[in-house]
Amino acid sequence: MSKYSTGELAKLCGVSVRTVQFYDTKGLLPPAELTEGGRRIYSSDDLSKLRLICMLKAMGLTLDTIRGILRSEAPGKVLMLLLDEQIKRLGSDIKEKKEQIDAIKIVRENIRNMDVITVNSIGDIEHIMKSKKGLRKIHGTMLAVGLIMDAIQIGTVVLWIVKGLWLPFAVGMPLVILFGVLLTRMYYKNTAYICAECNTIFRPSLGQFLFSAHTPKTRKLKCTKCGHKGYCVETLANE
């Protein structure tokens, strides 16, 4: 059976001598024997054990967890259960990090649309973040209905031009207009806007809503409270 010094073992596993000594003091990797001069001597089994420890550490397991695995009567089964739990935990961490990234993007986007950042505007951003899910549903519905409207328009026009069939166009266009009216009404009813000047959440008049300049996330409106006219940030109504 091969024997290794602390330095040789550390080199084979790509760790420092101090790391091997630390695992010894923690009871994870006691040496197979000690020389009369007090030098640690490790066996091939110790080499395999250190490689396992390094692998488990790389997976994010704590030293206490690793110690439990090494001392278990059925280390394979214990390890499988722990790895399953580690996968779940990492999955939750990934989801949390993604939500944090999405939140940061929202904050950056809304800060870009605000001339002045105040304590109240930070509260507005929090409100916008909470309403994002509802707005996403509204935008998704608008996109889906819009695609249906486009399909009706293009399909009936093509039939009229290619086949000379004007009736589908005559029937389809009123439907497109009806869908458009209902879609606009739904959008208007379910959205509100935050004034960048006084931080009031308000709903503009329908006329102002329809004919104002806008971006996907903002609309140039006149605040119903302070009268300021500028780009206001879209949020979900009745939140």
> Right CATH number for 3-81 from 1.10.1660.10, 1.10.10.10, 3.40.190.10, 1.20.210.10?
1.10.1660.10
Query: What percent of the chain is predicted at pLDDT more than 90?
Result: 8
Confidence of residue 59 (pLDDT cuts 50, 70, 90): confident
In the block, tokens 């709903």 appear at 203
Residue 238, phi-psi category: left (phi > 0), alpha (psi -120 to 50), beta (remainder): left
104-120 burial, b if ≥16 CB within 10 A, otherwise e? Answer: eebeeebeebbeeeeee
Amino acid 131: pLDDT: 66
145-154: long-range pairs with CB below 8 Å, 24+: 145/179, 145/183, 146/183, 148/179, 149/176, 149/179, 149/180, 152/176
Domain boundary assignment for the chain: 3-81, 111-236
> What CA–CA distance (Å, rounded) separates 22 from 27?
9
Q: What is the pLDDT of residues 130-169, one digit of tens each?
A: 666 677 788 788 888 888 888 888 888 888 888 888 888 8
Q: What is the pLDDT of residues 35-58, one digit of tens each?
A: 888 888 999 888 988 988 888 888
